């Protein structure tokens, strides 16, 4: 849906390949394609949180592209042989919005953890990094509006603590907004942006942080949550269904719209001085199991067709 040229060229490429079954792992698909396909819908955040703040485009262009996105996504879901989602929470959202799709036509399959992160070794560069000195909490992810990092900054600015907050994410238009808010709140000494983190830096952060804070309004899966769980890191997160599903209520939760509650939960956690947590049922998050379950769906659809 990103461009008409992409729609047309992608369509003819698929037709020339003469596939028995196509798996679209992204919502960009040629709407003219009528052969059997499976679609993975990672999340429907763009439907739930439509806001021009999430785009750098002209508001009119954003509105037009959002309408096209809605049409393409609806077409992809209704015309697919089967839909895969990364969580039950996303499946439930799809069923609530798209009334003509049946429960048995959607399968939720958990994703895994980056193998490079699992076996990464850190070195002196991380230990000597000024950002990692002293106690620190981390946020990992991008800075789109639905991630709610602005409210996290507002909440953390009223928490009385020597613990720092380290925001690990990309440097872009949205991170500039975050930096401006940090300055406006006079929190440059307490809240730091780490925008060029390597896999070694990320591993060190997960291993040595006091906690992960994830204030998001909406997620399809929440990879930083699962990564933090792998490292037994305590988690303070918004009380959205997807996080409750992944963590099975083994975390501290808050209303993402309530800045004072967020600040209170952070303060309470720091006072308790909690150590590492051993999370249950981590075997759920495996790319091998994800592949096996996806293959079962492939075989089923191919057999039917």
**Rounded to an integer, what distance in angstroms lies between the CA atom of residue 228 and that of residue 119?**
14
Beta-strand ranges (E) seen in 141-205 are: 164-168, 191-194
Number of domains, the chain:
2
**Rounded to an integer, what distance in angstroms lies between the CA atom of residue 229 and that of residue 174?**
27
Question: Are residues 234 and 290 both part of a single domain?
Answer: no
**Rounded to an integer, what distance in angstroms lies between the CA atom of residue 236 and that of residue 231?**
15
| Residue range 156-213, pLDDT digits in tens | 999 999 999 999 999 999 999 999 999 999 999 999 999 989 999 999 999 999 999 9
Question: Are residues 128 and 266 both part of a single domain?
Answer: yes
Question: Are residues 160 and 190 both part of a single domain?
Answer: yes
Q: Which CATH number characterizes residue 89's domain?
A: 3.40.50.2000
Question: Are residues 164 and 264 both part of a single domain?
Answer: yes
Question: Are residues 57 and 158 both part of a single domain?
Answer: no
Which domain, by its residues, includes 221? 115-281
Question: Are residues 176 and 92 both part of a single domain?
Answer: no
Question: Among residues 34, 41, 19, which one has the least CA distance to residue 220?
Answer: 41
Question: Are residues 241 and 175 both part of a single domain?
Answer: yes
- DSSP at 132: G
76-80, 100-104, 124-128, 294-298 — which is least confidently predicted?
Answer: 124-128
**Rounded to an integer, what distance in angstroms lies between the CA atom of residue 250 and that of residue 236?**
10
Question: Are residues 159 and 21 both part of a single domain?
Answer: no
Question: Are residues 188 and 85 both part of a single domain?
Answer: no
Question: Are residues 232 and 87 both part of a single domain?
Answer: no
Residue 272: partners with Cβ closer than 8 Å, 6 or more residues away: none
Residues β-bridged to residue 106: 83
Question: Are residues 266 and 291 both part of a single domain?
Answer: no
| Percent of the residues in the chain that have a pLDDT greater than 70, as a whole number | 97
Question: Are residues 198 and 259 both part of a single domain?
Answer: yes
Residue 273: partners with Cβ closer than 8 Å, 6 or more residues away: none
**Rounded to an integer, what distance in angstroms lies between the CA atom of residue 203 and that of residue 119?**
9
| Residue range 257-287, pLDDT digits in tens | 999 999 999 999 999 887 888 898 899 999 9
């Amino acid at each position: 849906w990103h461009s008409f040229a992409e729609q047309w060229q992608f369509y003819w490429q698929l037709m020339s390949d003469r596939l028995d079954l196509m798996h679209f792992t992204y919502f960009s698909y040629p709407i003219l394609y009528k052969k059997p396909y499976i679609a993975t819908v990672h999340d429907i955040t763009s439907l739930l949180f439509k806001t021009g703040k999430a785009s750098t485009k002209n508001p009119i262009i954003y509105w037009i592209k959002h309408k096209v996105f809605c049409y393409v996504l609806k077409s992809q879901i209704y015309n697919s042989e089967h839909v895969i989602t990364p969580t039950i929470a996303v499946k439930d959202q799809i069923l609530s919005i798209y009334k003509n799709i049946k429960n048995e036509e959607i399968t939720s399959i958990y994703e895994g953890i980056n193998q490079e992160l699992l076996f990464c070794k850190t070195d002196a560069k991380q230990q000597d990094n000024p950002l990692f000195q002293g106690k620190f909490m981390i946020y990992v992810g991008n800075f789109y509006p639905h991630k709610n990092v602005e409210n996290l900054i507002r909440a953390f600015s009223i928490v009385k603590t020597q613990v720092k907050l380290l925001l690990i994410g990309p440097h872009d238009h949205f991170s500039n907004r975050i930096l401006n808010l940090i300055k406006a709140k006079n929190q440059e000494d307490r809240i730091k942006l780490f925008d060029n983190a390597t896999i070694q830096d990320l591993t060190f952060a997960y291993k040595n942080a006091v906690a992960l804070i994830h204030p998001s309004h909406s997620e399809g899966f929440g990879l930083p949550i699962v990564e933090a769980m792998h490292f037994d890191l305590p988690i303070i997160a918004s009380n959205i269904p997807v996080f409750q599903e992944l963590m099975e209520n083994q975390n501290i939760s808050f209303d993402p719209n309530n800045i004072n509650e967020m600040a209170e939960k952070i303060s309470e956690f720091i006072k308790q001085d909690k150590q590492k947590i051993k999370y249950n049922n981590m075997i759920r998050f495996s790319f091998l199991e994800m592949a096996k379950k996806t293959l079962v769906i492939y075989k089923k659809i191919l057999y039917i067709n």
